[in-house]
């Protein structure tokens, strides 16, 4: 059954209107972290770029006898290691700086009168949603650009849904800095359930990331009762076995039915698919797919994937939906990748 972790999942913290997270964040703090991140990212790209140029211009470094033991080969390995570490640290520091900026936007978000998108999830899933995404296997085609994405999974979910409304969520009690993505709201422990029900009734869309905690189960039950079917969206990160166990445990808890599993491999994130409902509660499970590579954003690939999958959700809500545009740099990168592949084949095969 579901983990009994209601206490760990309590929605608590400060009132949103008096929200500063007790940090008194300075814009200078954010600038310093971002600057440090940029320096490290640029340095990492430089090390990786030098290594790439050397291996393309000095093929005998790889082909000659004893090449793997040469000083230059070891130096290139060091360049790769330093480049990857520097880039990873740079992304982490850059995103920390961006979190300070988020704090300064909370008040303006509170004044937004547009019906919001309410994002509900288990707090223990936040670390996964806070990870940056990259091109994955498409690193082979897009190279360094797909590796240095600073966009987090949650941030890309928010961007994919931005035309529907502002993306809001309840903050983790005691967190010092909010994660990048949804605007965090902080409410007292004693009325978090009432506050959630109130926001559900006002939300244009309720997005739930499927999980296995008691509080999230309660939120799912309330969402089914409080919102129209077309205003409910589930994000699925479970594999088939996990989903079947989850589905079985839900029997008797929800009045609606969940569809058969149709997820595939993880796509630029921990997500495998989405579930939406028609007005008569007919469920649909849409598998996330990469689709047309020429429309794929190198730095925010999940936005493109989600935007394509969410088309029926936008249409049911009567929101404007447009197909992601072909990216000019994808055409250029494809040409460069094909040229590089041809060059490597001529050097190493023919």
Nearest to 124 by CA among 216, 205, 194: 216
Query: Taking the domains of the chain in order of start, what are their residue ranges?
Result: 16-21+112-348
How many residues are present in the chain?
350
- pLDDT of amino acid 186: 78
Q: Which residues make Cβ contacts (< 8 Å) with residue 211, sequence separation at least 6?
A: 121, 122, 124, 125
Using DSSP's 3-state secondary structure scheme, residue 123 falls into helix
Structure-block tokens of residue 32: 């310093």
What's the distance, CA 233 to chain centroid? 16
Nearest to 152 by CA among 184, 127, 129: 129
Structure-block tokens of residue 39: 């320096």
- pLDDT of amino acid 144: 47
Q: Which pTM was predicted?
A: 0.69
- pLDDT of amino acid 350: 55
Q: What are phi and psi of 193, to 5 degrees?
A: -70, -40
pLDDT digits (tens), the chain, 350 positions: 444 343 334 433 333 333 333 444 455 666 777 788 788 888 888 888 888 777 767 655 554 555 555 677 778 788 888 888 888 787 777 777 776 666 555 544 544 568 899 999 988 888 888 776 655 445 444 444 444 556 888 889 998 999 999 898 888 777 777 777 788 887 777 778 888 888 898 999 999 999 888 888 889 889 988 899 999 999 999 999 999 988 887 776 677 788 999 988 888 888 999 999 999 999 999 999 887 777 877 778 888 899 999 999 999 999 999 888 887 766 776 677 677 667 667 766 65
CA distance 108 to 102: 11
Q: Which residues make Cβ contacts (< 8 Å) with residue 20, sequence separation at least 6?
A: 14, 103
- pLDDT of amino acid 137: 45
CA distance 43 to 47: 6
């Amino acid at each position: 059954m579901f983990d009994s972790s209601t206490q760990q999942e309590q929605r608590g913290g400060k009132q949103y209107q008096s929200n500063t997270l007790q940090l008194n964040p300075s814009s200078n703090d954010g600038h310093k972290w971002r600057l440090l991140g940029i320096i490290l990212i640029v340095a990492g790209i430089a090390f990786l770029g030098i290594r790439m140029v050397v291996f393309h211009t000095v093929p005998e470094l790889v082909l000659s006898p004893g090449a793997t033991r040469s000083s230059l080969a070891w130096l290139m390995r060091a360049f790769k290691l330093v480049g990857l570490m520097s880039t990873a640290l740079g992304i982490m520091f850059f995103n920390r700086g961006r979190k300070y900026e988020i704090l300064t936007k909370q008040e303006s978000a509170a004044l937004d009168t547009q019906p919001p998108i309410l994002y509900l999830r288990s707090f223990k899933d936040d670390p996964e949603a806070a990870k940056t995404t990259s091109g994955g296997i498409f690193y082979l085609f897009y190279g360094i650009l797909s590796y240095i994405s600073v966009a987090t999974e949650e941030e890309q979910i928010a961007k994919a849904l931005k035309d529907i409304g502002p993306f809001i969520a309840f903050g983790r009690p005691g967190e010092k800095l909010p994660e990048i993505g949804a605007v965090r709201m902080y409410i007292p422990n004693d009325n978090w359930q009432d506050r959630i029900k109130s926001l559900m009734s006002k939300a244009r869309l309720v997005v739930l990331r499927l999980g296995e905690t008691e509080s999230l189960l309660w939120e799912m039950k309330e969402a089914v009762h409080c919102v129209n079917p077309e205003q409910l969206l589930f994000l699925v990160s479970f594999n088939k076995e996990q989903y079947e166990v989850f589905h079985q445990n839900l029997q008797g808890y929800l009045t609606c039915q969940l569809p058969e599993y149709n997820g595939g491999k993880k796509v630029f994130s921990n997500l495998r698919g989405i579930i939406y409902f028609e007005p008569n509660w007919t469920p649909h499970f849409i598998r996330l797919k990469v689709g047309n590579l020429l429309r794929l954003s190198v730095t925010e690939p999940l936005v493109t994937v989600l935007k394509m999958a969410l088309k029926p959700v936008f249409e049911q809500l009567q929101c404007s939906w447009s197909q992601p545009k072909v990216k000019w740099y994808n055409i250029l990168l494809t040409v460069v990748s094909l040229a590089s592949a041809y060059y490597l084949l001529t050097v190493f095969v023919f």
